Amino acid sequence: MLRLENVRKQYKDFELDITMEVKPGYVTGLIGRNGAGKTTAFKAGLGLIRTEGEITLFGKPLEKITPADREKTGVVLSDSGFSGYLKVKDLVVILRNFYHEFDEEYFKGKCKEFDIPFDKQIREFSTGMKRRLQVVAALSHNAKLLIMDEPTAGLDVIARDELLTMLREYMETEGRSVLLSSHISGDLEGICDDIYMIDDGKVVLHEETDTLLDEYCILKVTKEQYETLDKSFILRQRKEEFGFSCLTNEKQFYLENYPDVVMEKGSVDGVMTMMIRGDGR
Amino acid sequence: MKGLMMKGLFVKDYKLLSTGPSAFNTIFVAVVLGMFILTDLSSYDGYSGINLIIAAFLVGIRSYDVCDNGLAYLFTLPVSRKGYVRESYLFSFLSACCSLVIYGIFDRVLTAVLRPDGPIPFTVFLKAMWECFNIVLLMIALLIPFYLFFGAKRRNSYILAAVGVTMIFISYIGSMPLCGVIQKGARFLKTFPVSLLLLAVSYLISVRLMEKKDF
């Protein structure tokens, strides 16, 4: 669906250098600290910034993407949206004229469900309401690929849950894919098939979510236990007051060979913290 | 597909024009004021001034797209950069021409009633309209690249600069003795080819700026 191969973008004090792929039928998550390069990666994938490297969307190089191909994508951006001077009732007419497959009933229904006012200028909306509007618009024209940068930002717990349910319903149709980022790791754990962690513009980890949750863990070891620990499968380690925290992707090996070691179940937050703050072996 | 993109952009611009905060109000005030002011004018400079304001505000619709990085989102819709630039010029041109025609019709009717010695002579009126058309071309040529490249933050500065350049241009070129056939007084004939040329250059600059711009 979308592939970024050695994509580089150089700014004054930041460089993005990333290779990643969103496979058909996959929900792919992108996670990282603020300023890690998530939005830059999204913009690169959408052709909003000029980059080096190779980007393909629906199997075509990005420079050959036509408005017809754009109809097959639905996008939520964290720092941009519809003109604030428009009203939702205007958007209905505009989207109808942009998309062949715009589902007006769905769009109106979801707007009502999310309490999005039809007769108010978008600039008067709250951040969460703007985000919900973008999500509904992205889902309303039978897109094959959703690209969503922080779609849950500014949403309360209920709205977040509703949005994730909408995404799950969207994925029930075969051949669709989603690329999304979120600073709330729980959102990604619950919906993503695979996750890319990026830091300082580079991918530090790519893993299937199930693997990450099942096979990764953080070993909490004392200095004495650390000395005798087989470090062959330790990805990152970090000095703590009690000794060391060690990230591994071979939980079973340590379960079997070091039954006395305290293990913390793998989580997106835990793994990310270790991958970013921990030291290499 | 290109047709659908153009249609969508036209609908968007029309909606922005009709829901925008000041465009219609400003045009309405300009037209009404113009009607009354022009009842006392024998020259067509008044027409130019009023239409200059109208053109500036119509081209100013671009600022509703560019504010808050709105173009980034727009280019995730089925819109190409080149297509957007083309539509910007076309919509600005057509909407300004429409306002010019509507303004002209209202003016002929109202000045016939309000002006003690009737409306200004039809030939003078036509010259004034033609000059306004030139002004529209110039304002589009001058303003659109600024909006597209620099955004809407200094919108008023662009408008003032464009108005100034347009006035100087019309006065300067208009008073140049270009050839014997085109005499002073027919300045619109001299300015038109230059306006068209500037418009073409402006369009090419805008396409290039847009294709190189990061959002």
Task: Indicate the pLDDT class of residue B185, thresholds 50, 70 and 90.
Answer: very low
Segment among A10-14, A73-77, A257-261, B25-29 with least mean pLDDT = B25-29
Segment among A143-152, A259-268, B175-184 with least mean pLDDT = B175-184
Instruction: Give me the mean pLDDT over the B97-120 stretch.
Output: 75
Check whether residue A49 and residue A120 sit in a common domain: yes
Number of domains into which chain A is organized? 2
Is the predicted pLDDT of residue A160 greater than 60, yes or no? yes
Q: Determine, for residues A85 and B212 on separate chains, whether the beta-carbon distance falls below 8 Å.
A: no
Contact A203, A7 (CB under 8 A): no
Check whether residue A187 and residue A228 sit in a common domain: no
Determine phi and psi for A270, rounding to 5 degrees: -65, -45
Contact B6, B94 (CB under 8 A): no
Residue B142 CB partners (closer than 8 Å, separation 6+): B158, B161, B162, B165, B166, B198, B202
Check whether residue A135 and residue A79 sit in a common domain: yes
Contact A259, A221 (CB under 8 A): no
Q: Determine, for residues A81 and B73 on separate chains, whether the beta-carbon distance falls below 8 Å.
A: yes
* Pairing, β A234-239 against β A73-76: unpaired
Check whether residue A189 and residue A234 sit in a common domain: no
Check whether residue A128 and residue A250 sit in a common domain: no
Residue A1 CB partners (closer than 8 Å, separation 6+): A22, A23, A24, A26, A57, A58, A144, A145, A177
Task: Indicate the pLDDT class of residue A127, thresholds 50, 70 and 90.
Answer: confident
Q: Is A170 helix (H, G, I), strand (E, B) or coil?
A: helix
Q: What is the largest distance, in Å, between two alpha-carbon atoms of chain A? A: 69
Say what the alpha-carbon torsion angle A178, A181, A185, A190 is, to the nearest 10 degrees.
-10
Q: Domain holding A17: CATH number?
A: 3.40.50.300
Q: Determine, for residues A93 and B11 on separate chains, whether the beta-carbon distance falls below 8 Å.
A: yes
Residue among B4, B70, B75 minimizing CB distance to A98 = B4
DSSP structural state of residue A121: B
| Residue A93 touches chain B, beta carbons under 8 Å | yes
Q: Is the dihedral of CA A272, A275, A279, A281 positive or negative?
A: positive
Contact A253, A233 (CB under 8 A): yes
pLDDT confidence of residue B43: 47
Check whether residue A34 and residue A87 sit in a common domain: yes
Boundaries of domain holding A269: 216-277
Contacts of B77 in chain A (CB under 8 A): 70, 98
Q: Determine, for residues B215 and A49 on separate chains, whether the beta-carbon distance falls below 8 Å.
A: yes
Choose the mutation target among B12, B22, B75 for the interface with A, i.e. most A CBs under 10 Å: B12
Distance of alpha carbon B23 from alpha carbon B13, whole angstroms: 12
* Pairing, β A73-76 against β A2-10: unpaired
Check whether residue A60 and residue A163 sit in a common domain: yes
CA A43 to chain centre: 13
Domain boundary among A181, A209, A237: A209
| Residues of chain B numbered 152-211 and touching chain A (CB < 8 Å) | none
Nearest C-alpha of chain B: how many angstroms from A141? 11
Check whether residue A58 and residue A150 sit in a common domain: yes
Nearest C-alpha of chain A: how many angstroms from B66? 8
DSSP structural state of residue A63: G
For residue A58, the tally of other CB atoms under 10 A from its CB is 13
Distance of alpha carbon B198 from alpha carbon B186, whole angstroms: 20
Name the average pLDDT for chain B: 75
Task: Give the closest residue to A43 by CA, choosing from B87, B146, B213.
Answer: B213
Check whether residue A84 and residue A31 sit in a common domain: yes
Helix axes B155-174, B187-212, angle to 10 degrees: 150
Share above pLDDT 90 across residues of chain A, in percent, rounded to a whole number = 79
Give the nearest chain A residue to B75 (CA atoms).
A48
Check whether residue A177 and residue A52 sit in a common domain: yes
Q: Is A23 helix (H, G, I), strand (E, B) or coil?
A: coil
Domain boundary among A180, A209, A238: A209
Give the nearest chain B residue to A89 (CA atoms).
B15
pLDDT confidence of residue A98: 94
pLDDT confidence of residue B178: 42
Contacts of B151 in chain A (CB under 8 A): none
For residue B206, the tally of other CB atoms under 10 A from its CB is 24
Contact A255, A199 (CB under 8 A): no
Q: For A225-259, what is each residue's pLDDT tens digit?
A: 999 999 999 999 999 999 999 999 999 999 999 99
Distance of alpha carbon A38 from alpha carbon A108, whole angstroms: 31
CA distances from A158 to A3, A124, A161, A189, B94 (A): 33, 22, 5, 17, 47
Domain boundary among A209, A224, A241: A209
Instruction: Give me the mean pLDDT over the A128-135 stretch.
Output: 91
Task: Indicate the pLDDT class of residue B22, thresholds 50, 70 and 90.
Answer: low
Residue A267 CB partners (closer than 8 Å, separation 6+): A185, A189, A213
Residue among A75, A86, A100 minimizing CB distance to B19 = A86
Nearest C-alpha of chain A: how many angstroms from B76? 7
Q: Determine, for residues B15 and A49 on separate chains, whether the beta-carbon distance falls below 8 Å.
A: no
pLDDT confidence of residue A167: 92
Task: Indicate the pLDDT class of residue A170, thresholds 50, 70 and 90.
Answer: very high
Task: Give the closest residue to A99 by CA, choosing from B87, B78, B129, B200.
Answer: B78
Check whether residue A98 and residue A193 sit in a common domain: yes
Distance of alpha carbon A64 from alpha carbon A56, whole angstroms: 9
Segment among A99-103, A200-204, A257-261, B116-120 with least mean pLDDT = B116-120
Share above pLDDT 70 across residues of chain B, in percent, rounded to a whole number = 66
Contacts of A49 in chain B (CB under 8 A): 214-215
Segment among A64-68, A134-138, B2-6, B43-47 with least mean pLDDT = B43-47
pLDDT confidence of residue B48: 61
With vertex at residue A264, the alpha carbon angle to CA A260 and CA A267, rounded to the nearest 5 degrees, is 155
Check whether residue A225 and residue A171 sit in a common domain: no
